[in-house]
Amino acid sequence: MTRFSIAVVVGSLRRDSWNRKLASAITELAPPEFSFSQVEIGDLPLYNQDDDNHISEPVARLKREIHAAQGLLFVTAEYNRSVPGVLKNAIDHASRPYGANAWAGKPAGILGVSIGAIGTAVAQQHLRTVLAYLDVPTLGQPEAYLQAKDGLFDAGGGLGTSSKPFLQGWMDRFVPWVRMHA
Ligand X SMILES: Cc1cc2nc3c(=O)[nH]c(=O)nc-3n(C[C@H](O)[C@H](O)[C@H](O)COP(=O)(O)O)c2cc1C
Looking at the Cβ atoms of 31 and 85, the one nearer to ligand X is 85
Q: Least distance from C-beta 136 to ligand X, angstroms? A: 21
Q: Least distance from C-beta 54 to ligand X, angstroms? A: 32
Q: Least distance from C-beta 119 to ligand X, angstroms? A: 7
Residue closest to ligand X when measured from CB atoms: 116
Distinct helix (H) and strand (E) counts, the chain = 5, 5
| 5 and 37 Cβ atoms separated by less than 8 Å | yes
Q: Please tell me whether residue 89 adopts helix, strand or coil conformation.
A: helix
User: What residues are paired with 146 via a beta bridge?
Assistant: 113
Sign of CA dihedral 127, 129, 132, 134: negative
Looking at the Cβ atoms of 77 and 159, the one nearer to ligand X is 77
For binding to ligand X (CB under 6 A), which residues are involved? Answer: 12, 14, 17-19, 77-81, 114-116
